[in-house]
């Protein structure tokens, strides 16, 4: 890419920034580099595909063994979604075929009213399928039915969507739930039914009010009084301790409010995303390669605490989330701020695209990335590949590819 073309590209990123700023910034990742990563990821995921039973969904690879889930597991939509993104990035029709075959086993989850994760399960999969194929007759009803199932978990008292039906909580809402709101806003545009949009906005506004500390770090779990709507507990489930900043949780928040600004144009959501980004990127415990430890406050864990023998583990899934979210956030900001987001996203993509985070071909069970952490306090999925790490890494690559090709970075399913 020539310097003049680069200047035009960066000027688009910076919006109303000066031409001088655009000319001094040069994207470091070329079309060839991005394509190389997408092609390698497509080759790797075919290894995973060869090991995956028709009715099962990849979850992780642990102790030398593949671990699969049923369609009802919260991660079930990420594998077909990754296949679809890789089809978009490589034009390999075989990947589209594998994805659509897998969707036949996932479709029944449109009627699942027992989980808040339907955005992950259905939007990442059927949403991408609709966007890429345009087959609204086939995929539209799945998405609208699923959105109604998700909306059934909304309480007008708490003004939030309930996350879990288990545990000792009265009405738990986790920061992860921000990620399911795009499902509702997009289906609202598809169907013209405003209730989905209203629920998404209400949930985001309530979460903004109750989920964040003064430094804009996020709690993991807020428990609400189901009768009054008052927040009665601020806890964690996957972080180091209640007042710690669980790294992936910060990613869910960053991505969620960036997306909700796009969907609503509400300035308070953009400001929130900017402040969350500032917390992450300026955190003294963020490593130089920008792949975070599993919790930003892991250093506050006592050395004698036997619960955390591996407290220094990184979480690649959080880094992949940061990369994709920062790329988008760079589109809604200006000047040095936009450049910073874009630069940090590039850095993460470069680092995830090599050892020790990128898995060698044919290894790691066919997963693209390695060294993620699911839930250290629960001793679950420790230093393993995770299907959602692959999804957000590939999403970030595809977003970057679109930008370099002069296309909109974000492509919606709603027409």
351 found inside a domain: yes
344 found inside a domain: yes
Instruction: Give the per-residue pLDDT at 310.
Output: 86
DSSP 153-174: TEETTTTEE---SSSS-SSEEE
54 found inside a domain: yes
Domain that holds residue 391: 31-147+254-405
Instruction: Give the per-residue pLDDT at 167.
Output: 86
Distance separating alpha carbons of residues 187 and 111, to the nearest angstrom: 16
Element housing 231 (H / E): strand 231-235
Instruction: Give the per-residue pLDDT at 3.
Output: 40
Q: Tell me: pLDDT of 16 over 50.
A: no
User: 168-209: per-residue pLDDT in tens?
Assistant: 999 999 999 999 999 999 999 999 999 999 999 999 999 999
Instruction: Give the per-residue pLDDT at 415.
Output: 66
Report residue 330's pLDDT band, with 50, 70 and 90 as the boundaries. very high
Instruction: Give the per-residue pLDDT at 414.
Output: 74
User: 63-78: per-residue pLDDT in tens?
Assistant: 999 999 999 999 999 9
For range 81-110, the mean pLDDT: 98
List all residues 6 or more positions away from 60 whose beta carbon is below 8 Å from its beta carbon: 67, 365, 367, 374, 381, 384, 385, 386, 387
295 found inside a domain: yes
For range 244-251, the mean pLDDT: 98
Percentage of residues of the chain with pLDDT beyond 90: 89
61 found inside a domain: yes
Phi, psi dihedrals of residue 292, rounded to the nearest 5° = -75, 160
Instruction: Give the per-residue pLDDT at 26.
Output: 61
Q: Are 334 and 340 in contact, with CB atoms under 8 Å apart?
A: no
Q: Does 248 belong to an annotated binding site?
A: yes
For range 76-94, the mean pLDDT: 98
What's the DSSP call for residue 359?
P
209 found inside a domain: no
Calculate the CA 70 to chain-centre distance.
21
Q: Are 74 and 375 in contact, with CB atoms under 8 Å apart?
A: no
The answer to which of 13-17, 148-152, 227-231 has the lowest mean pLDDT is: 13-17
One of 39, 92, 165, 176 is an active-site residue; which one? 176
Q: What is the pTM of this model?
A: 0.93
Here the CATH number for the domain that contains residue 271 is 1.50.10.10
One of 117, 223, 295, 390 is an active-site residue; which one? 117
User: 38-63: per-residue pLDDT in tens?
Assistant: 999 999 999 999 999 999 999 999 99
The answer to which of 141-155, 163-177, 324-338, 401-415 has the lowest mean pLDDT is: 401-415
Element housing 221 (H / E): strand 221-224
Q: Does 117 belong to an annotated binding site?
A: yes
18 found inside a domain: no
Instruction: Give the per-residue pLDDT at 20.
Output: 31
What total number of domains does the chain contain? Answer: 1
CA-wise closest residue to 326 among 249, 392, 414: 392
176 noted as active-site residue:
yes
85 found inside a domain: yes
Q: Does 131 belong to an annotated binding site?
A: no
User: 334-384: per-residue pLDDT in tens?
Assistant: 999 999 999 999 999 999 999 999 999 999 999 999 999 999 999 999 999
289 noted as active-site residue:
no
Distance separating alpha carbons of residues 317 and 389, to the nearest angstrom: 4
Distance separating alpha carbons of residues 366 and 125, to the nearest angstrom: 19
Q: Tell me: pLDDT of 15 over 50.
A: no
């Amino acid at each position: 890419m020539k310097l003049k073309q680069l200047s035009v590209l960066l000027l688009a990123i910076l919006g109303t920034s000066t031409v001088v700023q655009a000319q001094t910034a040069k994207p470091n990742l070329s079309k060839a580099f991005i394509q190389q990563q997408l092609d390698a990821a497509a080759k790797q995921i075919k290894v995973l595909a060869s090991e995956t039973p028709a009715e099962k969904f990849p979850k992780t690879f642990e102790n030398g063994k593949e671990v699969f889930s049923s369609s009802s597991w919260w991660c079930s939509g990420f594998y077909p979604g990754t296949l679809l993104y890789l089809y978009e990035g490589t034009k390999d029709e075989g990947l589209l075929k594998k994805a659509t075959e897998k969707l036949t086993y996932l479709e029944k989850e449109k009627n699942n009213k027992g989980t808040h994760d339907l955005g992950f399960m259905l939007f990442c999969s059927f949403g991408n399928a609709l966007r890429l194929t345009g087959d609204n007759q086939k995929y539209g009803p799945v998405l609208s039915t699923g959105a109604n199932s998700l909306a059934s978990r909304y309480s007008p008292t708490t003004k939030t969507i309930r996350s879990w039906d288990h545990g000792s909580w009265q009405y738990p809402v986790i920061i992860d739930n921000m990620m399911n709101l795009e499902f509702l806003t997009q289906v609202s545009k598809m169907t013209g039914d405003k209730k989905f949009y209203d629920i998404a906005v209400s949930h985001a506004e309530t979460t903004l009010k109750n989920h964040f500390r003064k430094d804009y770090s996020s709690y993991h779990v807020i428990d609400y009084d189901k009768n009054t709507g008052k927040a009665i507990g601020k806890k964690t489930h996957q972080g180091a301790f209640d007042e710690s900043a669980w790294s992936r949780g910060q990613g869910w928040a960053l991505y969620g409010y960036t997306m909700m600004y796009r969907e609503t144009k509400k300035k308070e959501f953009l400001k929130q995303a900017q402040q969350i980004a500032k917390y992450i990127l300026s955190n003294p415990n963020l490593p130089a390669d920008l792949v975070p430890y599993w919790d930003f406050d892991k250093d506050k864990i006592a050395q004698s605490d036997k619960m955390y023998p591996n407290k220094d583990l990184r979480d690649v899934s959080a880094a992949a989330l940061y990369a994709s979210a920062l790329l988008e956030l760079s589109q809604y900001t200006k000047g040095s701020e936009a450049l910073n987001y874009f630069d940090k996203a590039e850095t993460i993509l470069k680092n995830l695209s090599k050892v020790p985070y990128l898995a060698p071909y044919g290894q790691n069970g066919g997963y693209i990335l390695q060294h993620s952490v699911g839930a250290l306090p629960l001793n679950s999925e420790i230093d393993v590949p995770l299907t959602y790490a692959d999804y957000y890494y590939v999403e970030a690559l595809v977003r970057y590819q679109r930008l370099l090709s002069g296309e909109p970075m974000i492509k919606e399913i709603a027409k």
